[in-house]
A and B are shown apart, each in its own frame.
Chain A
Amino acid sequence: MIKVTIKCFSQVKYALGENELVLELENGSTSSNLEKIIRSKANGQLDDISLRIAINQHYESEDTELKDGDEVAFIPPVQGG
Chain B
Amino acid sequence: MVKVKIINKPITPFISDDSRKQDGAELIFNGRVRNTENGKEIIALEYEQYEGMAELELKNIAQLTCEKFPINDLFCQHRVGIINIGEISLHVVIWSKHRKEALAAMDWFILRLKKLVPIWKWAIMTDNTRVPSECEH
A residues adjacent to B (C-beta < 8 A)? 7, 9-11, 14, 54, 57-59, 73, 75-81
Contact = CB atoms under 8 A, between A and B. Distances in A.
A81 B89 contact: yes
Contacts, number: 58
B132 A78 contact: no
Interface of B: 31, 47-48, 50, 52-54, 56, 78, 89-90, 110, 113-122, 132-133, 135-136
Contacts of B118: 9, 54, 73, 75, 78, 80
Nearest to B130: A14
B53 A11 contact: no
Contacts of B78: 80-81
A10 B131 CA distance: 9
A9 B89 contact: no
Contact of A81 (B52, B53, B110): B110
B114 A81 contact: yes
